Chains A and B, each alone.
Chain A
């Protein structure tokens, strides 16, 4: 009985849209409705893959996800281990400051990034000008964006992840460290031989989740931070922003549904694959 509302919710919000995937194989016509529209088979997907956009958005989605995962993992883990060396008062201060960006939405972050990057009034260009250099038109130059997006993502994500790994470190039994110290181990050895191996289960679970999500890009980050500027789509456009534009701006509903379908299928395959790999390596760390 108590399950009924939840059941209905997922039925309407998740399972009915899954049926709606048929749109991807039809020539959707608003007047004819989903089921009245004509079947076109794989034409929508074929059309998508024939374009340059397909390669561009797929490549961008995967490469960005990959670099976000690696960068955030390495930096946060390192900071969490180092954070553990400080006194409690300092830990609190740094944690709170690092966590602040997490509370902002991408919309607000884009206000901040714009204050730095704005062509006329941005802080960076003002600095360049006062140093006697040419101002840079950030929003027109595709080559800057891999760096900008990675930095902005790291800025927003690092606090949360540090706290997450730090909580993991706090859960480690102190007697391991006591024993290591008696055996004369130094800090580096302790970090490599105790902290990291014991955090491995937490890290793998988070990795599976993020690898499964690799094909689902961060819409807010890639839509707001580059200001949805057409000139730099070559390095900022990901599947999510493309689907959104195809739906809202271009209005090609069937195509956009087909791309969404492609994304969902590959995403599912990725989760299953990631879990399979982890289960092969270590049964206990797998998700199911």
Chain B
């Protein structure tokens, strides 16, 4: 028992070994040069974020006159005020996205665990065939068109949130990672539970799932992240504005800058002249409001995203 947990935690978190010999090269100039290089790299990566944040706090006419700037002529909260005056669209999009993410992640994780568990069992008669069955979908697919026709003509999922949830439930890659992890659970434990009269279901829910917590955390985060940022299926299948996810809302806003102005409900609530809407700063404010909260949360879990790849060896 303790050995599994030890390997499990070691597998999930590629942490820095505690005692690393740091004095490999003690010349400080050398290290400062590398550090300076990384500061430049990090700055290059960070600056675009800064531009968006600053623009969202700029007044509309300073954007119109000088373009997006790092130091605007005049600061302004106008864009945010406008968005919060009628927060309905944004809040609804948040609600839809949260529903999709929660439902999708819970269902997807359970399905991934179930499938991965079956494939990891060496005593399952069709193990090889089943693994190939899953793995093959990674290599070959029917392409976009048959998928689209299936979803719209046969499953009738147009304008249904299921069209966003279902395609993301299982990925062969996640299953292979799960399988790799679960195959490390010692088979003797399962055997002895069986001898004691536990059913397969009971074994799965009371033993296998708790033992796989590290893999479940990693994959759960990845799946949740994928749902949160999902726009492709939403773009294909969702046309109704009240079912729009956050990402879809952003897509629509981008494809027609006038999305907000065209949205009569929104304009009516505001009672403003359409031409005067501060489009540019509002766009940036919307981008911040849509991405900001997640950008604050996800970085805390960043190592889990990578460990998903190293968790279970893919080979098998």
Contacts and interface: CB of A to CB of B under 8 A. Distances in A.
A257 B143 contact: yes
B254 A263 contact: no
B35 A90 contact: yes
Interface in A44-99: 79, 82-83, 85-88, 90, 93-99
Nearest to B280: A121
B306 A2 contact: no
B24 A181 contact: yes
B121 to A, nearest CB: 9
A269 to B, nearest CB: 10
Nearest to B113: A2
B150 interface: yes
Given A2-B200, A98-B42, A164 B69 contact: no
Given A93-B42, A126-B66, A220-B231, A116 B48 contact: yes
Interface residues of B, number: 95
Contact of B140 (A93, A177, A267): A267
Contacts of B166: 13
A256 B51 contact: no
A45 B69 CA distance: 48
Interface stretch (B75-83, B190-198, B267-275, B296-304): B296-304
Q: Which of B31, B172, B236, B306 has the most CB of A within 10 A?
A: B306
Contacts of B150: 12, 16-17, 20
A276 to B, nearest CB: 13
B225 A256 contact: no
A82 B146 contact: no
Contacts of B240: none
A122 B48 contact: no
A140 interface: no
Interface string B177-205: 00000000000000000000000110010
Given A100-B46, A260-B145, 18 more contacts: A6-B114, A6-B170, A6-B175, A21-B146, A82-B34, A86-B38, A100-B45, A115-B55, A123-B68, A126-B67, A126-B68, A167-B307, A170-B16, A171-B14, A240-B144, A257-B145, A267-B140, A268-B140
Contact of A17 (B146, B250, B254, B305): B146
Contact of A112 (B42, B51, B225): B51
A64 B127 CA distance: 38
A264 B141 contact: yes
A167 B149 contact: no
B118 interface: yes
Contacts of A120: 67
8 contacts: A13-B167, A14-B142, A23-B149, A34-B149, A107-B231, A187-B24, A253-B149, A272-B139
Q: Is the interface of B mostly helix, strand, loop or mixed?
A: helix
Q: Which of A13, A24, A98 has the most CB of B within 10 A?
A: A13
Contact of A85 (B25, B66, B204, B315): B25
A98 B111 CA distance: 33
Contacts, number: 263
Interface stretch (B84-92, B98-106, B129-137, B212-220): B129-137
A98 B41 contact: yes
Interface string A97-111: 111111111111011
Interface residues on A, range: 35 or more
B298 A103 contact: yes
A116 B51 contact: yes
Contact of B16 (A88, A163, A177): A88
B194 to A, nearest CB: 15
Contacts of A248: 236
Contact of B38 (A13, A82, A268): A82
B139 A268 contact: yes
Contacts of A95: 302
Contacts of A211: none
B4 interface: no
A220 B231 CA distance: 9
A178 B19 CA distance: 13
A118 interface: yes
Given A115-B51, A260-B145, A263-B143, A101 B45 contact: yes
B45 A159 contact: yes
Contacts of B64: 121
A247 interface: yes
